[in-house]
Chain A
Amino acid sequence: MAEDYVLQMKNIDKEYYGNKVLKGVSLSVRKGEIHGLIGENGAGKSTLMNILFGMPVIHSTGGFSGEIYLNGDKVDLKSPYEAMKMGIGMVHQEFMLIPDFTITENIKLNRETTQDNLISKVFRSDRLKTLNTGSMAADAKKALNRVGLTIDEWVTVAGLPVGHMQFIEIAREIDKTGLRLLVFDEPTAVLTESEADNLLSAMKRLAESGISILFITHRLSEVIQIADNITVLRDGELVADRKSAETNVAELAELMVGRKVDLKGKEKQSREYQESEVILDIKNLQVDMPGEKVTGVDLKIYKGEIFGIGGLAGQGKVGIANGLMGLYPSKGEVIFKGEKLELNNTKSSLERGLAFVSEDRRGVGLLLDSSIELNIVFTTMQTKGKFLKRFGFFSQLDDAGIREYAAKIIQDLDIRCTHSQQLTRQLSGGNQQKVCVARALALDPETILVSEPTRGIDVGAKKLVLDLLIKLNKELGMTIIMTSSELVELRSICNRIAIIFKGKVAGILKASNSDQEFGLMMAGEYQKIEEDGEGRLNE
């Protein structure tokens, strides 16, 4: 029985800094099988793959516990290169291709065929051997044919459609001799539908030729369409192993998202608001944020509500707030408080009363080597000229004023620190996040954009941050637009939640909608299943 399996991972446990991200996960892939692996962001799929490939990030954080068997033999993979030699290949989500190289060069990267020349013979060095361009081209051609891509192998990769790049990646993997298992990490995420269809049929052909495939994806219909078996991960735990013949999209969606979270009662916490006054009207917003491209979003946000923006990573949810703040090039029309908002101008966005808590806390959000108090007043100082003493043309920090304000807000938000001059670098994640919020509040905003407020902070701190947002909304009547990858969070505090898929709004749901509906919408399957539902949702 065991010999049937190309890959078995047993009872894998992994901790990152005391945070358990994988709890006893097992995964088995048979020879020639297409095995689907699905789960939300943060469910542990990437960590599992990092372990399989022996990525340095695993070993530098204390390794993992559990066992891996390849073809029945126990293995201990220490580096991606070793994994490659054992016959495991990966088609990456962001392509590992060098744009200025030809297709051949990319396919044969570091596996170039060479031939001896005079000098290499004298020095007995493999590296001085001449490249055998003829046989490299022939190999490349063969690999391209196997994946069914008709393109000349001497073309440079730059400028090719993404679909082609994907196939080149696959061609590179299957050109490796002894390839047994090929991992596809969300291969269809960047493809158009027809390209995705091509890819799926190519995957089927590969599986028929005896190569096992591990297919990581969010697209549930695809996984049902081609996988033989499906493993569902959620929160680092194995929740289900299904045969794809015995399940359906709806069940998978529920398994993927479903959580034992008590949503009752929490919904009441959010404040009543009138659906009359539109504070922010976004029309056809496009944002060119790398990896989070927004391709045309229409949203109406009412004054006084907590509005959630959810969706899977890379679909563009994070791009919306960044676009509104002018941090990435954007286009479209945004009406804020009845007046047009000038896009691509961060200063004007701030001056108009939009405050932003960035998802990149340590990068964009904080001046890590400055004090808490300076961080809190920094934006206000820059845009509104507050906390400054003026001497003619010169101005100086108003230290006393800053300290007083900081002391007050530190108390209000309960920021745990030794004193207000402490460096923000020394604070814990949750307290850093509070400093970010404090800075946004210092602007005295009417509307606050909060991106991923709970990313990378522990459970207790998460609750505090969320409670703080509710408090701001209830007591100060602030409109809050929260972007988050964590659906539970959104559902626990938001009035309405827009799910972003492929840079567009897939639909707007209420917290009370079912797990299934959320799961389907995030996977982009909602419209397909309820054809007539589209009109209703966009109302």
Chain B
Amino acid sequence: MAEPNQTKTTQISLSTKIKRLAFDNSVPILFIIICLLGVYFSQLPAVFIVNQLLTRITRNSFLVLALVIPVIAGLGLNFGIVIGAMAGQFAILIVTHYKVAGFNGFMLSLLLSTPIAILFGILTAMLLNRTKGQEMITSMIAGFFANGVYQFILLFLVGTLIPMKNPDMILSRGIGIRNTIDLATKTGIKYALDDVLKYPFFEVLVVAAIVGIIALSINYFLKKKKGSGEVDNFKFVTLFILMALVMGTSIWVLNSNTLLKTVKLPIVTVLFITVIWVFNELIMKTKLGQDFRTIGHDMEIAKISGINVDKTRTIAMIISTVLAAWGQIIFLQNIGTLSTYGAHVQIATFSIASILLGGASVTKATSGQAIIGLILFHTLFIVSPKAGNNLFGDAQIGEFFRAFISYGVIGVALGLHAWNKRVQAMRKHLDTDAP
């Protein structure tokens, strides 16, 4: 007869731990290396890269963070954020039409987009609840379909069924919205959020690092004192060193004479992003968040234990769609012009590529991964045309690089994850006494 099973107290050595960490994060690590190579070959000045990066991160974070909850709730990567973005654009069009400019206009468009996005979220969720198991492709196709409806409304209904007279926004034939709408500072919501408050980036970074270190230490010692839960020394040390590094670099930059120290950070936009980040974290600590996790892991078990799966999935979709609508408004106030029929088309692809680069997968995602992925993706995006040019002597090749990156990344990341999963399954398999 078989020996009784003993609980193995697994003491993993540091080297295996690092190896595991490297393997489990193979996607971000691979792309960090590619990014560094790209930065090196592009020979772009640091100030340019940092400046661009900051703009793009503050512009896009919201959209990427909108992806986190659906992944946790088992809905996969929500290509349907395109639909949320449309809700945001509807709101912007209304606000611009009535010439509510600046911060007021911005807040009003957030407010207006919310009910539209909630409605869209419910509709998408109704569809996804009928197509369990194929949420990703369904949400993608739903996005394409919604795009058709969106075009129909804005190109043909505006000016006919929807009375609207505004020569700045309507095509000269009197029907349909123009291709591009100017959101200029005076009459629109351009920089409505970004320009409220700006501080030098590296000063903010020093402060943030100090706050981070203090918070981390307090948290660590409180946990240790209470003795409850797993105290992860390794994680603590890694984070501590990282933050110290950030602080050191920032202080060095501030004391140096480079242009870098002039780089500025839009504080209010960052606050907005932080609030959503915190929201994502906090909601996971509630009953609702626990339900998200449960249905994400196993819908059947959730159902048997009495969780209303469909309703919970609907809530997850609503949250994601509303965040996407707000994200698109933040995105457009930074861009400054609304490309009526194009602004939303690519955002799902780009956001999903970003979050995948950060190490998220179809079944696992965190807000941290969203931000890390965003940094990596946009670094690649910034440096690749120039790097391609420098390496192959043709600017066109750099453009190919961009296309390759945004789509290729999704393929590579999904492939690596599949491989990763198989290795993990094999690891597990080898532990059992099966053949």
- Interface residue ranges, A against B (CB under 8 Å): 80-81, 84, 96-101, 105, 109-112, 114, 117, 120, 126-131, 134, 137, 151, 154, 159-164, 192-195, 286-288, 293, 295, 329-332
The smallest beta-carbon distance between A507 and chain B, in angstroms, is: 17
The answer, among B4, B287, B306, B431, for a CB contact under 8 Å with A81, is: B306
Given A162-B5, A163-B5, A80 and B285 touching (CB < 8 A)?
no
Q: Is the CB of A128 within 8 A of B288?
A: yes
B199 to chain A, nearest CB (A): 29
Given the known A-B contacts A98-B294, A293-B434, are A193 and B1 also in contact in the complex, defined by CB atoms under 8 Å? yes
Kindly provide the distance from the CB of B3 to the nearest chain A CB, expressed in whole angstroms.
7
Roughly how many angstroms separate A97 CA and B305 CA in the complex, as a whole number? 11
Known: A98-B294, A110-B307, A137-B228. A129 touches B286 (CB 8 A): yes
| B2 interface residue (CB < 8 Å to A) | yes
Q: How far is the CB of B279 from chain A (nearest CB, A)?
A: 10
**Sample of 5 A–B contacts (CB below 8 Å):** A110-B307, A129-B286, A131-B290, A193-B1, A286-B434
The answer to whether B302 has its CB under 8 Å from any CB of chain A is yes
Give the chain A neighbours of B297 by CB distance below 8 A: 98-101
B287 touches A128 (CB 8 A): yes
Nearest-CB residue, chain A, relative to B8: A159
Contact indicator B301/A109 (Cβ below 8 Å): yes
Q: Is the CB of A120 within 8 A of B294?
A: no
In the complex, which residue of chain A has the Cβ closest to the Cβ of B434? A288
Query: Is the C-beta of B161 less than 8 angstroms from some C-beta in chain A?
Result: no
Please name all residues of chain A whose beta carbon is closer than 8 Å to the beta carbon of B302 when the two chains form the complex: 110
Q: Is B148 an interface residue (CB 8 A)?
A: no
How far is it, in angstroms, between the C-alpha of A288 and the C-alpha of B302 when the chains are bound? 28
Q: How far is the CA of A331 from the CA of B435 in the complex (A)?
A: 6
Q: How far is the CA of A130 from the CA of B287 in the complex (A)?
A: 6
| A127 in contact with B5 (CB, 8 Å) | no
Complex-state Cα separation, A109 to B303, whole angstroms: 11
Is the Cβ of B294 less than 8 Å from the Cβ of A110? Answer: yes
Contacts of B3 in A (CB 8 A): 192
How many Cβ-Cβ contacts under 8 Å join chain A to chain B?
A: 93
Q: Which residues of B lie under 8 Å from residue A117 when comparing CB positions? A: 286
Q: Which residues of B contact A329 (CB under 8 A)?
A: 435
Main secondary structure of the interface of A (DSSP, over half): mixed
> Given A110-B305, A293-B434, A130–B286 Cβ distance below 8 Å?
yes
Chain A hits for B428, CB < 8 A: 159
Query: What are the 6 tightest A-B residue pairs by CB atom distance, in nearest-first order?
Result: A161-B5, A331-B435, A194-B4, A286-B435, A81-B306, A110-B305
- The chain B residues found within 8 Å of chain A, CB to CB, are 1-7, 228-230, 285-291, 293-294, 297-298, 301-302, 304-307, 428, 431, 433-435
Of B4, B289, B433, the most chain A CB neighbours within 10 A belong to B4
CB < 8 Å neighbour of A126 from B4, B287, B289? B287
Check if B5 sits within 8 Å of A154, measured CB to CB. no
Kindly report which residue of chain B lies nearest to residue A80, judged by CB atoms: B304
Q: Say yes or no: A130-B435 contact (C-beta < 8 A), given A96-B301, A100-B297, A154-B230.
A: no
Please determine whether B228 and A120 come into contact, CB atoms closer than 8 angstroms: no
How distant is the Cα of A295 from the Cα of B285 in the complex, in angstroms?
A: 44
- Complexed CA–CA distance, A100 and B307 (Å): 18
Contacts of B305 in A (CB 8 A): 81, 84, 96, 109-111
For B290, list chain A residues within 8 Å (CB). 105, 112, 131
A331–B428 CA distance with the chains assembled, in angstroms: 18
Pair B5/A192 contact, Cβ less than 8 Å: yes
CB of A154 within 8 A of CB of B1, answer no
B427 vs chain A, min Cβ distance (A):
10
Asked whether, in the complex, the Cβ of A192 is within 8 Å of the Cβ of B291, the reply is no
Output the least CB separation between B316 and chain A (Å).
Answer: 12
How far is B435's CA from A181's CA once the two chains are assembled, in angstroms? 39
Q: Are A288 and B4 in contact (CB under 8 A)?
A: no
Q: Which of B5, B297, B307, B433 has the most CB of A within 10 A?
A: B5
Q: A120-B286, A331-B435 are in contact. Are A110 and B7 (CB under 8 A)?
A: no
Given A137-B228, A164-B7, A192-B3, is A114 in contact with B287 using a C-beta cutoff of 8 Å? yes
Q: Is A98 a contact of B5 with CB atoms below 8 Å?
A: no
CA gap between A286 and B286 in the complex, in Å? 46
Query: Which of B285, B291, B306 has its CB near the most chain A CB atoms (within 10 A)?
Result: B306
10 other contacts beyond A80-B306, A130-B285, with CB at 8 A cut-off? A80-B304, A101-B293, A109-B294, A129-B286, A131-B285, A131-B289, A131-B290, A161-B6, A193-B2, A288-B435
User: CB within 8 A of B286: which of A99, A128, A192, A331?
Assistant: A128
Q: How far is the CA of A287 from the CA of B3 in the complex (A)?
A: 21
For A332, give the chain B residue with the smallest CB separation: B435
Asked if residues B5 and A110 are in contact (CB atoms below 8 Å), the reply is no
Judge whether B434 and A127 touch: CB under 8 Å.
no
Shortest distance from the beta carbon of A162 to any chain B beta carbon, whole Å: 7
Are A98 and B298 also in contact (CB < 8 A) when A192-B2, A193-B1, A293-B434 are?
Answer: yes
- Asked whether B304 lies within 8 Å of A96 as measured between CB atoms, the reply is yes
Q: Which residue of B lies closest to A110 (CB)?
A: B305
Residues of A with C-beta under 8 A to B2: 192-193
CB contacts (< 8 Å) of A164 on chain B: these are 5, 7
**Are A110 and B291 in touch, CB under 8 angstroms?**
yes
| Given known A98-B297, A105-B290, A161-B7, contact A192–B1 (CB-CB < 8 A) | yes
Bound: A117/B3 CA distance, A: 49
Q: Provided the pairs A109-B305, A130-B285, A154-B228 are in contact, do residues A195 and B294 lie with their beta carbons within 8 angstroms?
A: no
Chain B: CB-nearest residue to A55: B304
Instruction: Write the nearest CB–CB distance from B295 to chain A, whole angstroms.
Output: 10
In the assembled complex, the CB of B223 is this many whole angstroms from the nearest CB of chain A, namely 11
Identify the closest chain B residue to A56 (Cβ). B303
In the complex the two chains form, what is the Cα distance from A163 to B5 in whole Å? 8
Q: How far is the CA of A97 from the CA of B304 in the complex (A)?
A: 11
Report how far A529 CA is from B6 CA in the complex, Å.
Answer: 29
With contact pairs A194-B4, A195-B5 given, residues A330 and B287 touching in the complex (Cβ less than 8 Å): no
- In angstroms, Cα B431 to Cα A344, docked, is 21
Kindly provide the distance from the CB of B417 to the nearest chain A CB, expressed in whole angstroms.
16
